[in-house]
Structure formats: structure tokens, C-alpha cells
Amino acid sequence: MEVTGVYLVALMLFAAVSSTVVNACPPSDRKALLAFKSALTEPYLGIFDTWTGTDCCTNWYGVSCDPTDSRVNDIILRGESEDKIFERTGRSGYMTGWLSPSLCSLDRLTTLVVADWKGISGEIPACITSLPHLRILDLIGNQITGKIPADIGKLEKLTVLNVADNKITGEISPSIVNLRSLMHLDLSNNQITGVLPADLGKLSMMSRALLNRNRITGTIPSSISGIYRLADLDLSMNMISGTIPAQIGSMPVLSTLNLDSNRITGEIPASLLSNSGLNIVNLSRNSLDGHLPDVFTPRTYFSVLDLSFNKLKGAIPKSLSAARYIGHLDLSNNHLCGSIPVGFPFDHLEASSFSNNDCLCGSPLMRVC
Ligand SMILES: *[C@@H]1O[C@H](CO)[C@@H](O)[C@H](O)[C@H]1NC(C)=O
């Protein structure tokens, strides 16, 4: 009886010990996280103070593990969030340092978010492309320099690539078109140069492509129009030239198209203005010429239609007054001529929507026809 009791206690102890061993993160993952931590300095919130002890799966701020094998799956560190740790200090996050390549030994990582810390510099570790399970890479709002790794296309499972608001340079690697799971691409507000890959249309899962505020040259690849799911395309504030591919107007779910502040020439494709799903269009500050296509219908619905600062000529199409809704219309700073149509949407617009044209007349301008 006594022997059985001792045996039972021993068995229970063994079970307890072995379960802690199973639930704790492997020492190699812990070591990688500690190396990642040691390359960063976060002086105000103390988030890394929680990164102590042997089990990196428990109570390490921003770290989560796969419950079945205790491998590190996610690192989610956001410098701007609703988390109570920010409430307590009453300030948003700030961090300096760089992203240690030690991250790359976390070979089960699916999510890496190190966002809005404002001060993290250095480059994206090139070895990041060897993380086969990576789905989300979000490094927005830091001071990251260097290029996007040349073989980024190896990340077959990547759905989100967000490096916006950094100081990324170099060209967009042609390999990017191999990111066959990519849904959300945000490279905006960096210093990216070079042209858009001609076969960008291979990114067939993509629904948002934000590449604004860079130094991109070359033309808009017409293959983009083959991206069935693309809802939001922003190429504004670059140095893009050439014409707007007419096929873009036939995209089934495109709702926002911002091409403003580039060097785009040619005419505005009629299909673009007759696409009733397209609701926000900004083509301002380009060199678009020709006449405004007369293709508006009672299905026309624009929250924003900004065509200002181009070289458009001729008259404002009468059909524009058939539109169901136009929130913000800007035709100023072109070479338009003739009378401004009467009725909706023209009756709620201000003179500034029509100013600085060659010879427009009628309300709301002071000039009578
Ligand atoms: C359109 O783009 C121009 C130039 O980039 C910008 O100044 C303007 O505010 C934008 N229009 C709207 C309605 O957002």
C-alpha cells in the first residue's frame, strides 16, 4: 500500500514536470527572442521587462505560441494600440534599435508585427524570406532603411506585406509577383525607385495595393487590370508616366483609384468614368489631356472625382448632371470651356471646383455665359 502511494506520488510529480517541459517554449526559440530583444531599446513602457523567465510562451508581452508544440507563432508589438500598457503611461510607443536576424531561427513564425515604434532603424533581415510559414509581415511606421529582400517572393504564404512609412530604398524586386497569397501590399511613403513589374497582375489574391509617396517611374502595367479582387489601388505621388490602361476601367471590384501627382499623359479612358463601382478617383496633378468622356449615367456615384491640374479641354459633359451622386468634384486648373451644366450635382458645388479654366461660364462662377 505504502509502496503504491510513493509510486503514485512519483508518477504525479513526473507528470507535472513533464507537462511544464512540454508547455514551455523550446530554449532555441527563447534564445532567439532574447537576441531580438537585446537589439532593441524601448525606454518608456517596459514591454520587454515581461520577457523574462524560461517560458517565453507565458506572459511575454506580444509573444504567442502554438498550444500543441509551444513553438513561437506570433510576435505582435504595436507602438500605437488600445492596450492598457499604453493607457497607463499615456503615450504612444517609441523604440530604437534594429530587427535582429535572430528572428529567422523562429522557423514557425506566422506573424511578425513590429509597427509604429517610430525609431527602429536598420534593414529588414534578408533571412526573413526563409521563414516558410510567415503570413503577416507588418513593419509600418519605423525608420527602416535598405531594400525589401530580393527573394521576397519565396514567402508563399504571405498575405500581408506592410512596410509603409519607413525609409526603404531600391527597386521593387521582380520576385514580388510570386507572392501568390498576397492580399494586402502597402509600400507607401518610402523612397522606392524603379518601375512596377510588368507582371504585377500575377498577384491574383491582392485586394489592396498601396504604393503612393515613393519615387516609382515607368508606366502602369496593364496586367494590373487582371487582378480580379483589387479594390484599392494607390499609386499617387510618384513619377509614373504613360497613359492609364483602359482595361482598369473594367475592373470588377475596384472602388478607389488614386493616381494623383504623377506624370500621366493621354486621355481619361471612358471606361473609368462609366464604371459605377469606382467611387473615389483622384487623377489630379498629371498631364491628362483630351475631352472628358460623356459617359455619365444615373448609376454614376462618386464620393470623390478630382481631375484638377491637368490639361483637359472642351466642355463639361452634359451627362454629368445625370449622376446619382457626386460628393467632391474638382475640375479646376484645366483648359475647359463652355457653360457649366445646371442641376445636380452642380448646384451644391463651389466656384473653386471650376476655377482656373480657359473659358468656363455660368453658376457657380461669376462669369456669365
Ligand atoms: C487629390 O490629389 C491631390 C494631389 O495629390 C491632392 O492635393 C488632393 O487633396 C486630392 N483630392 C482629394 C479630394 O483628396
Predicted confidence (pLDDT) per residue in 100-134, tens digit: 999 999 999 999 999 999 999 999 999 999 999 99
Ligand 1 closest atom vs CA 282: 1
Could you tell me if residue 87 is inside a domain? Answer: yes
Ligand 1 touching residue 304 (CB < 6 A): yes
For all residues of the chain together, what is the average pLDDT? 93
Query: Which of 235, 260, 288, 329 for mutating ligand 1's site (highest number of atoms within 8 Å of CB)?
Result: 260
308 lines ligand 1 (CB under 6 A): no
- Residue 90 CB neighbour total at 10 angstroms: 6
Q: Is the CB of 150 under 6 A from ligand 1?
A: no
**Structure confidence at residue 22 as a pLDDT band (50, 70, 90):** low
Distance CA 328, CA 46 (A): 46
161 with 137: CB under 8 angstroms?
A: yes
Ligand 1, atom 8: closest residue by C-alpha? 284
Q: What is the CATH number of the domain that holds 70?
A: 3.80.10.10
Identify the domain containing residue 106 by its residue range: 23-120
d(CA 291, CA 320): 13
Alpha carbons 100 and 245: distance in angstroms, whole number = 42
Q: Is the CB of 213 under 6 A from ligand 1?
A: no
Pick the closest to residue 37 from 47, 24, 27, 28 (CA basis).
47
Q: Which residue has the higher pLDDT, 233 or 86?
A: 233
Report whether pLDDT(10) > 60: no
Flag whether pLDDT at 42 surpasses 80.
yes
Cβ 284 under 6 angstroms from ligand 1: yes
Query: Does 333 sit in the ligand 1 pocket, CB within 6 Å?
Result: no
Under 8 Å between Cβ of 104 and 80: no
Q: Mean pLDDT throughout 211-239?
A: 98
Question: What digits encode the pLDDT tens for the residues 310-323?
Answer: 999 999 999 999 99
Region 136-143 average pLDDT: 98
Structural domain contains residue 330: no
Q: Quick check: is 245 in a domain?
A: no
Give me the phi and psi of 51, to 5 degrees please. Answer: -85, 65
Q: Is residue 88 part of a domain?
A: yes
Query: What's the number of domains the chain is made of?
Result: 1
pLDDT at 60: 97
Distance 236 CA to ligand 1 centre (A): 9
Examine residue 57 and state whether it is found in any structural domain, yes or no. yes
What is the mean predicted confidence (pLDDT) over 21-42? 91
